[in-house]
């Protein structure tokens, strides 16, 4: 029987919050969340229920992309209110439908402790199942991104990778990313960087569109 031990207070998560720690059973054994992440980034995402069509395609897609997450020094964990035994029984279907075997931990959360801790149950959507939530956690164990999709809409995990690229880039450099940015595109000099500092920080140069909007090549390329 699965179990989860709550190590923090139940709370409504906000960007910048300390990501609550927990211990939970999973398809890969007991997971102590913060210890498991170590110095990696983390993506914790919920699916409403095992043996359902959208969830099956999503889990297979994450399995297909796991190398992309690893390349970004990011560990992925799935969670739903189903048990670990149910997850394990479902694995064959995921491989049969998508061609990809489960290669990351799925947390069992039948008591809805992790789901409640991370705000993954929305009572007006469903009082017993999780929505399709995504939480990105930094190596400092802070919440850096929150996304919620309804049960009927599958997620675009390519977009989640793109957002992760932006989070990691802007954590390393004083830049922000514009609309529809993709890795390799120009970025924007962060507003807090003065004109004098920009000349030093961005020796590759930058172009001014407005005094508050300055494009520069992506650092590190």
Give the angle subtended at the CA of 182 by the CAs of 210 and 165, to the nearest 5°.
105
Q: Of residues 55, 107, 151, 188, which has the active-site annotation?
A: 55
Terminal CA-CA length for the chain: 49
* Residue 91: active-site member: no
Q: Which residues contact 72 (CB under 8 A, 6 or more apart)?
A: 41, 161, 164, 165, 168
Other Cβ atoms less than 10 A from the Cβ of 147: the count is 15
DSSP state of 148: E
d(CA 214, CA 147): 28
Beta bridge partners of 31: 24
Catalytic residues: 55
């Amino acid at each position: 029987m699965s179990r989860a031990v709550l190590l923090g207070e139940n709370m409504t998560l906000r960007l910048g919050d300390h990501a609550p720690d927990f211990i939970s059973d999973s398809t890969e054994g007991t997971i102590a969340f913060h210890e498991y992440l170590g110095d990696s980034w983390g993506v914790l995402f919920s699916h409403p229920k095992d043996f359902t069509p959208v969830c099956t395609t999503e889990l297979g897609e994450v399995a297909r992309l796991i190398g992309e997450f690893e390349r970004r020094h990011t560990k992925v964990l799935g969670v739903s209110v189903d048990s670990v035994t149910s997850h394990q029984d479902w694995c064959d279907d995921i491989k049969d439908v998508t061609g990809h075997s489960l290669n990351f931990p799925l947390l069992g959360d039948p008591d809805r402790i992790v789901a409640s801790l991370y705000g993954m149950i929305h009572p007006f959507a469903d009082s017993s199942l999780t929505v399709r939530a995504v939480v990105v956690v930094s190596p400092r164990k802070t919440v850096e991104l929150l996304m919620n999709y309804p049960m009927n809409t599958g997620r675009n995990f390519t977009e989640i990778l793109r957002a992760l690229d932006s989070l990691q880039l802007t954590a390393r450099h004083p830049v922000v990313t514009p609309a529809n940015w993709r890795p390799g595109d120009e970025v924007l000099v962060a507003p807090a960087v003065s004109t004098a500092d920009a000349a030093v920080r961005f020796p590759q140069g930058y172009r001014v569109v407005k005094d508050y909007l300055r494009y520069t090549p992506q650092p590190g390329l």
